[in-house]
A and B are shown apart, each in its own frame.
Chain A
Amino acid sequence: MNNVFVYCEIEGTNVADVSLELLTKGRKLANQLGCQLEAIIAGSGLKDVEKQVLPFGVDKVHVFDAPGLFPYTSLPHSSILINLFKEEKPQICLMGATVIGRDLGPRVSSALTSGLTADCTSLEIGSHEDKKAGITYENLLYQIRPAFGGNIVATIINPEHRPQMATVREGVMKKEILDENYKGEVIQHDVAKYVPETDYVVKVIDRHVEKAKHNLKGAPIVVAGGYGVGSKENFNLLFDLAKELHAEVGASRAAVDAGFCDHDRQIGQTGVTVRPKLYIACGISGQIQHIAGMQDASIIISINNDENAPINAIADYVINGTVEEVLPKMIKYYKKNSK
Chain B
Amino acid sequence: MSLRIIVLAKQVPDTRNVGKDAMKADGTINRAALPAIFNPEDLNALEQALRLKDAYPGTTVTLLTMGPGRAAEIIREGLYRGADGGFLLTDRAFAGADTLATSYALAMAIKKINDYDIIIGGRQAIDGDTAQVGPQVAEKLGLTQITYAEEILNVDKEAGRITVKRHIDGGVETVEGPLPIVITVNGSAAPCRPRNAKLVQKYKHAMGKQERGTRPASHPELYETRPYLNIQEWSVADVNGDLAQCGLSGSPTKVKAIENIVFQAKESKTISSSDQEVEDLIVELLANHTIG
Please list the residues of chain A having a beta carbon within 8 angstroms of any beta carbon in chain B. 71, 73-75, 78, 98-100, 102-107, 109-111, 113-119, 128, 142-143, 146-161, 201-212, 221, 245, 254, 257, 263, 269-270, 277-278, 286, 288, 291, 299, 301, 307, 310-322, 325-326, 329-330, 333-334, 336-338
Contact = CB atoms under 8 A, between A and B. Distances in A.
Given A106-B136, A151-B23, A314-B266, A334 B282 contact: yes
B62 interface: no
A215 to B, nearest CB: 13
Given A106-B135, A320-B270, A329-B273, A142 B128 contact: no
Contacts of A301: 281
Nearest to B166: A99
B271 A118 contact: no
Contacts of B2: none
Interface of B: 13, 15-16, 18, 22-23, 27, 29, 98-100, 103, 126-136, 138-140, 144-148, 163, 167-178, 188, 251-261, 263-273, 275, 277-279, 281-283, 285-286, 290-292
A73 B175 contact: yes
A149 B37 CA distance: 14
B253 A314 contact: no
B252 A160 contact: yes
Given A74-B145, A254-B16, A151 B22 contact: yes
Contacts of A211: 170
B100 A110 contact: yes
A208 to B, nearest CB: 5
Contacts, number: 256
B173 A208 contact: yes
Given A205-B176, A330-B278, A316 B268 contact: yes
A320 B167 contact: no
Contact of A149 (B22, B169, B174, B253): B22
A269 B282 CA distance: 30
A98 B169 contact: yes
A98 B169 CA distance: 7
26 contacts: A106-B103, A106-B134, A107-B135, A109-B136, A114-B252, A117-B253, A118-B128, A118-B131, A148-B127, A151-B22, A151-B23, A151-B260, A206-B173, A207-B171, A208-B171, A208-B173, A209-B168, A263-B188, A286-B263, A301-B281, A312-B268, A313-B263, A314-B266, A321-B273, A334-B286, A338-B286
Given A115-B252, A205-B174, A110 B139 contact: yes
A116 B16 contact: no
A152 B259 contact: yes
A202 to B, nearest CB: 4
Nearest to A162: B252
Nearest to A211: B170
B252 A205 contact: no
Contacts of A149: 13, 15-16, 18, 22, 126-127
A105 B147 CA distance: 12
A157 B127 CA distance: 19
Given A103-B135, A314-B266, A334 B100 contact: no
A116 B148 contact: no
